[in-house]
Structure 1
Amino acid sequence: MSSTDAPAGDVQDNSYVNRPGQNEYNVPVVKDDTAAAAATEEGGYTDESTADSDAQLAKDDLDIDKTNILESRTRGAAKDQGSYTEPGDEEGLPGPDEDGTSRGRQQ
């Protein structure tokens, strides 16, 4: 695609705003041509000066769905305690006949 094929100016596509199911499930959608300040109001912040306030942070904490939080960070994927051993001091080091260079580097 050449630069002459690219559209000029601002491109707006509001076709996604009225997709089926968005009104039924109450999904908030902001149009491309909506001003940024109005978009934040639609997103839940009514005033930019209070968007980063302690009150808003407290509201955000209350809005968290606690049922969606995992009990553990690793989901039980960690090895059993005592089953992991660290490599020894000599493990993984080149032998006495090798200098550590790769096979392609040797002359």
Structure 2
Amino acid sequence: MQRIISISLDYLNGIVQNLVSSYSTPIWATLVAGFFVVLTLALSMYLIFDHLSVYKHPEEQKFLIGVILMVPCYAVESVSFCFFFDFLKSCPGLYEVRLAESQNLSRNTKLKN
């Protein structure tokens, strides 16, 4: 049973590693995302300064400014996750090392009766 599980894990690990190593984000998608992040930052700054220049209803406008600030924060975070997922591509290698170590440990342990 353990042999079957080991073979199936090795097979699945090979499939995942091939999928992850062969995929890379297209450069045009990164450039389009960067353009829209810059556009979002510019429009949000304009709206924030527009609200601050006519700050006559502070109880309402402070919440509006908070909502407007959420948009550029989300835009910057979404682009930063693109680079984070590139980092995650190296994780299958770490998984393989951990899997090999656990298989070696399980072979060396003896079951008590």
Q: Which bin holds the TM-score, normalised by the shorter protein?
A: under 0.3
TM-score scaled to structure 2, two decimals? 0.23
Q: Give the number of the structure with larger relative contact order, counting CA–CA contacts within 8 Å between residues 6 or more apart.
A: 2
Structure with more of its chain in helix, by fraction: 2
Larger radius of gyration: 1
